[in-house]
């Protein structure tokens, strides 16, 4: 079975890295408000159920949307609301050299 990447490449599911699988889980959770059952199963089977912190690709619209949703902090952290007033750290955009430019 194959996965189509954000840049249009097809890769075998068993070749997806831990970070890539985790990013897929976060993307589906944040933007699509759902869980990707196949990728969740891959994480459970291959990575002992551990979802890594979100490190999104430097896709301008995606980074800008995270910022517009109030999820990117001033220091580049990504936070998610887990209730009415509870936020938790879920990742970072600081690995993207020009992340501050992308949120303008």
Please check whether residues 7 and 30 belong to one and the same domain: yes
Please check whether residues 46 and 60 belong to one and the same domain: no
Please check whether residues 47 and 78 belong to one and the same domain: no
Please check whether residues 48 and 18 belong to one and the same domain: yes
85 pLDDT band (50/70/90 cuts)? confident
Domain that holds residue 27: 1-52
Please check whether residues 96 and 66 belong to one and the same domain: yes
Residue 81 has pLDDT above 80, yes or no: yes
Is the pTM value of this prediction over 0.85? Answer: yes
User: Residue 45: what pLDDT?
Assistant: 96
Please check whether residues 75 and 64 belong to one and the same domain: yes
Quickly count helices (H) and strands (E) in the chain. 4, 4
User: Residue 84: what pLDDT?
Assistant: 76
Domain total of the chain: 2
CA neighbor of 56 nearest in space, from 41, 35, 71, 37: 71
Please check whether residues 42 and 59 belong to one and the same domain: no
């Amino acid at each position: 079975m194959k996965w189509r990447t954000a840049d249009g490449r097809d890769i075998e599911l068993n070749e997806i890295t831990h970070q890539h699988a985790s990013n897929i889980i976060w993307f589906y959770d944040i933007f699509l408000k759902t869980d990707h059952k196949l990728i969740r199963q891959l994480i459970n089977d291959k990575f002992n159920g551990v979802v890594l912190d979100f490190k999104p690709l430097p896709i301008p619209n995606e980074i800008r949307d995270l910022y517009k949703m109030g999820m990117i902090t001033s220091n580049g952290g990504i936070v998610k609301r887990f209730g009415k007033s509870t936020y938790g750290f879920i990742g970072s955009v600081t690995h993207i050299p020009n992340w501050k430019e992308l949120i303008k």
